[in-house]
Structure 1
Amino acid sequence: MNWINLITKYTPYNEQEKKDKEIILSCITMFDDVLSRNNAITHITSSAFVVNKTKDKVLVVHHNIYNSWSWTGGHADGEEDLLAVAIKELKEETGIKSVQPISSQIFALDILPVLGHIKQEKYVSAHLHLSVAFLIEADENEVLIVKEDENSDVKWIPIDEMTLYSNEPHMQKVYAKIISKLKKREKM
């Protein structure tokens, strides 16, 4: 499915996602380069919220730039298959080889602020990530590998502790929303 249709057809989980979806679609219309980091104001990113088979653990990386535990993910960099971006980033950042998307549909939609920072000895100005996230299952017994240029650690943690591991208040809200949505989905 076309990446714009994927976002357009996404049913927001709550009021925050409804508003963010409206703005994301406006940005897609406003900017022809929103799929690329060439747009220094805002661009599409794709992340993986990775759970184990029993869905009681989540795979996290300790992100070097943000100095916080987080999900895996990265920039679309022109790639239109956003699920493929999320899976590629997951594998690169953790060493996990065998992954299974629980759905090919977006699981969460957010606009995330990024503070100015240094990356590869260059300053990156503050900007916004138009974030799509997918729910993915992986084997918690696979060997994990740290991608040292991005992360300082990789591990599985109890899903109910995700918001305790993150020290970014805006991301704590995102993770809490995803966990709530996942638990509701599992009860169905």
Structure 2
Amino acid sequence: MSWVNLIKEFVPFNEQERKDKEATLRYINMFDDILERDNEMIHITSSGFVINKNRDKVLMVNHNIFNAWSLTGGHADGEEDLIGVAMSEIIEETGVKDILPITDKIISLDILPVFGHIRKGKYITSHLHISVTYLFQVDENEPVIVKQDENSDVKWIPFNEIDIYSSESHMKKVYNKIISKIENLVISV
């Protein structure tokens, strides 16, 4: 199924997701380059909410640029296989290899602010990410690595401690929303 159809078929969990889905579909029609980070206004990223088998911890990275604990993820950079982008980013940022997608459906759709910052010596202006997030499972005993040019730590964080680790209030809402969805998920793995 095409990435656009995956977004069209996404069932919003709340008013925020309903409004973000509507806006996303408008932006897809407005911009031919929405999958490219060259679009300095808004572009698509894909992330992985990686949980353990007990569904009580999430694998997170301490992101260097923002000095914040976050999900793994990255820019689509023209790639239409957004779940593939999310899986590649999980491997690249944490070193885990045995990744099980719990579902091929989008678990969260969010339009997120990205504040201006320096990346590889170049100023990146403030913009928006259309964040498409998928749900994965990994054995929490699998070894992890730090990708030093992107993150300073990789850690399994208990769901009930995410608010302690996360320093971004807008992201705490996203994480707690996803956890609510997981608690109601009936897919077995």
TM class by smaller structure = over 0.9
Shift of 1:10: 0.5
Q: 1:48-87 to 2 correspondence within 5 Å?
A: 48-87=48-87
User: Which secondary structure does the structure 1 equivalent of 2:59 belong to?
Assistant: strand
SS at match of 1:38: coil
- Cα 1:50/1:32, change in 2 over 3 Å: same
Structure 2 letter corresponding to 1:179: I
Map 1:141-160 → 2, pairs under 5 A: 141-160=141-160
- Alignment partner of 1:111 is 2:111: yes
In 2: Cα distance, 1:97 partner to 1:28 partner:
32
1:163: how far off? 2.2
Q: Which residue of 2 aligns with 1:31?
A: 31
Q: CA RMSD in A?
A: 1.2
TM-score, length-normalised on structure 1? Answer: 0.98
AA in 2 matched with 1:133: T
Query: What corresponds to 2:161 in structure 1?
Result: 161
2:102·2:187 contact (CA, 8 Å) conserved in 1? no
SS at match of 1:185: coil
For structure 2, the residue ranges without an aligned partner over 5 or more in a row are none
Structure 1 residue 185, shift from structure 2 partner: 1.6
In structure 2, how many angstroms separate the alpha carbons of the residues matched to 1:113 and 1:25? 18
Deviations 1:38-61 (A, max 9, x none): 100000000000000111111010
Unaligned 5+ segments in structure 1 are none
**1:120-139 equivalence runs, <5 A:** 120-139=120-139
- 1:97 correspondence with 2:97: yes
Decide whether the 8 Å contact of 2:73 with 2:86 is kept in 1.
yes
- The size of the alignment, in residue pairs, is 188
Q: Please list every run of at least 4 consecutive aligned residues from structure 1 whose deviation after the TM superposition is greater than 3 angstroms.
A: none
